[in-house]
Amino acid sequence: MNARTPFDTNTLDQLKAIALQALTSSTTLKALEDAKVQYIGRSGEITLLKRGLKDISAEDRPKTGALINLVSQEVEHAYAVQKDALETADLNAQLLSETLDVTMPGRPSPLGKLHPLSVITEDICSLFEGMGFTVLDDNACPEVETEFFNFEALNFPEDHPARDMQDTYYTEVASNVLLRSQTSNSQIRHMSNNKPPIRIISPGRVYRNEEVSSRKYVLFHQIEGLYVDKNVTFADLKGTLNAFISSLFGGNERPTRFRPSYFPFTEPSAEIDVQCLFCQGDGCKVCGHSGWLEILGAGMVHPNVLRNCGIDPDEYQGFAFGMGVERLAMLRDAVDDIRIFYTNDQRFLKRFQPSI
């Protein structure tokens, strides 16, 4: 265009019609963008008309500019409408192709369950709670303990040979600080701050430098029990433990035996064995070919232990017992190797989970 050539409005109308046709007939976003660039892009045909307004005479420039702007706005509006339509169509097609069939079966997610040692610990605590015992919070009974609560208060003097019965882990915190070798420290702490009658059990982890085998491990779990009152007898101890063992195994009587034993903190003392579940009398590695598996030690609380806790042994008597949780789990759940409890083997753990 130039000042000598008048602006042809017919040409503008034809360009508008062609641009609108190109935009509205575009079937893909790519074709639509190409049409936009061709007509209203930075170098598009309508954009070039705007730039050519400088070549039109001053008196015609406002009217011509208004016509070109009107066409440009119509084309831009047509572009926006077609773009929205194409995007909506693409979204509908995507939703249709990705439709969820709610009638199809879902994919189950495996649920976490308590570890078998946690399960049997809760079962044991529940049984004794039914007999009137109170479960102590293990957080109040530290695993890192002093010799006083782990040995001396339990009638283990410093030079007592019975200390050799347990190969204890000592720490570098101090010469008298160790990892507890039994949960009996909880009994001492409780008796030192409470007066009879006392009826408690205390579950927790303990540590001993044992040779690892199918029956022993360096870390294991114990549950200690204590009953202190007037006129407590060994018959009370035996009746309590027999009732507990029967209940733990589902009310089924399993042969047990009380063997005389020695513990510095009880007198008289006994060890309780349960007939081995695995060998059926023929002997096996689990029971050491004896036909019996030791599950706990027990006895009447030694008078010195009561005195160390400020309890008069002439007025009060009591019994105590301590059991290995792993041993009981091996018997109840037919596990022939204690080490498998610590391997996190999913094949083993799934035995204790309900089917989904």
Residue 171's Cα: distance from chain center in Å? 29
pLDDT of residue 161: 66
State the fold for domain 116-352.
BirA Bifunctional Protein; domain 2 (3.30.930)
Residue 6 pLDDT level (bands cut at 50, 70, 90): low
Which residues, including other chains, have CB under 8 Å from residue 277's CB and lie 6 or more apart?
A: 293, 330, 331, 334
Give yes or no for residue 340 having a pLDDT over 50. yes
pLDDT of residue 213: 76
Give yes or no for residue 295 having a pLDDT over 90. no
Give yes or no for residue 2 having a pLDDT over 60. no
Place of tokens 């589902």: 250
Backbone angles phi, psi at 109, to 5 degrees: -100, 130
Q: Which of 19-23, 214-218, 258-262 has the highest mean pLDDT?
A: 258-262
Whether the ω angle into residue 268 lies within 30 degrees of 0, i.e. cis, is: yes
Give yes or no for residue 104 having a pLDDT over 50. yes
Give yes or no for residue 252 having a pLDDT over 70. no
pLDDT of residue 4: 45
Asked which of 9-13, 30-34, 70-74 is least confident by mean pLDDT, the reply is 9-13
pLDDT of residue 189: 92
Residue 125 pLDDT level (bands cut at 50, 70, 90): very high
Rounded CA gap, 98 and 128, in Å? 57
Asked which of 162-176, 196-210, 304-318 is least confident by mean pLDDT, the reply is 162-176
Question: How would you class 261 by CB atoms within 10 Å of its CB: exposed for 0-12, middle for 13-18, buried for 19 or more?
Answer: middle
Summary mean pLDDT of the chain: 85
Looking at the DSSP bridge assignments, the partners of residue 177 are 146
Asked which of 24-33, 212-221, 301-310 is least confident by mean pLDDT, the reply is 212-221
Give yes or no for residue 303 having a pLDDT over 80. yes
Asked which of 68-72, 140-144, 263-267, 284-288 is least confident by mean pLDDT, the reply is 284-288
Give yes or no for residue 253 having a pLDDT over 70. no
Give yes or no for residue 153 having a pLDDT over 60. yes
The first and second tokens of residue 169, run together, are 């882990």
Higher pLDDT, 52 or 281: 52
> Is the distance from CB of 297 to CB of 322 less than 8 angstroms?
yes
pLDDT of residue 190: 93
User: How much of the chain exceeds pLDDT 90, in percent?
Assistant: 33
Give yes or no for residue 287 having a pLDDT over 80. no
User: How much of the chain exceeds pLDDT 70, in percent?
Assistant: 92
Regarding beta strands 198-207 and 134-135, do their DSSP bridges make them parallel or antiparallel, or are they unpaired?
parallel
Amino acid at 350: K
Residue 356 pLDDT level (bands cut at 50, 70, 90): very low
pLDDT of residue 350: 81
Backbone angles phi, psi at 264, to 5 degrees: -60, -25
Asked which of 5-19, 108-122, 298-312 is least confident by mean pLDDT, the reply is 5-19
Give yes or no for residue 300 having a pLDDT over 50. yes
The first and second tokens of residue 266, run together, are 């009880």
Report the pLDDT averaged over residues 333-349: 85
> Is the distance from CB of 136 to CB of 202 less than 8 angstroms?
yes
